[in-house]
Amino acid sequence: MIKHLTSLLIVAAIAGTASAQKIKIQEGSLKDLKDQTKMNVVYDYSDMRVGKFAKEEDYIAKKTSEYNAKEPGRGDDWAKKWQGDRQSRFEPNFVELFNKKSDLQIGNFADAKYTMKVHTTFTEPGFNVYVTRKNASINLEVTVYETANPDKPICKITGMGFPGRTFGGYDYDTGTRISEAYAKAGKDLSGFFAKNMKK
């Protein structure tokens, strides 16, 4: 019994370490943010890989064609939703979960001293076809800079593999899965910022 519990504790420790290493400061620090109460946030989806596709436009073209072949106009509607979900679902979820337990609030604060740019470099849309599924996930590059000096970042951060799925697994819609990945990213980055602003 003791041996079994010890094994479980070791596995838990390894899992915790792996999770903590998911977000990493690549350059600079967050210490200049420790006295800030708000920060502007902007988003960048350029040069984003999607699933097995090196270019997002190739993924969109393929999915649009496939859906239109099944039902005329369906693919075009899907493509509009793919783009529209960013402002209507992904970004609000990211902000909500970041702000939930943070003294540093992020949002459309053009007058804030600092700005955080959230660049999505990779999106795994995942799938859910009842009998089998694959979670969505996103990789991010986060750059923090003085709003007046965007070319002089104070900190660069990478965040890898933020997972997206709903409780119970009823996430048959691609946008729902990806939206949950942004919520997870917001929550995890909020904790990471809070910890590293004190250093």
Tell me the pLDDT tens digit for each residue of 175-198. Answer: 888 999 999 999 999 999 999 998
Please answer whether residues 83 and 57 qualify as being in contact, where contact means their C-beta atoms are separated by less than 8 angstroms.
no
pLDDT value, residue 2: 46
Question: What is the structure's pLDDT at 60?
Answer: 98
Indicate the domain borders of the chain. 23-196
10 vs 102, higher pLDDT: 102
Instruction: For residue 153, give the H/E element and its range.
Output: strand 153-164
* pLDDT single digits (tens) 78-114: 999 999 999 999 999 999 999 999 999 999 999 999 9
- Region 23-196: CATH code: 3.40.50
130 band by pLDDT with thresholds 50, 70 and 90: low
Looking at residue 116, what DSSP letter applies?
E
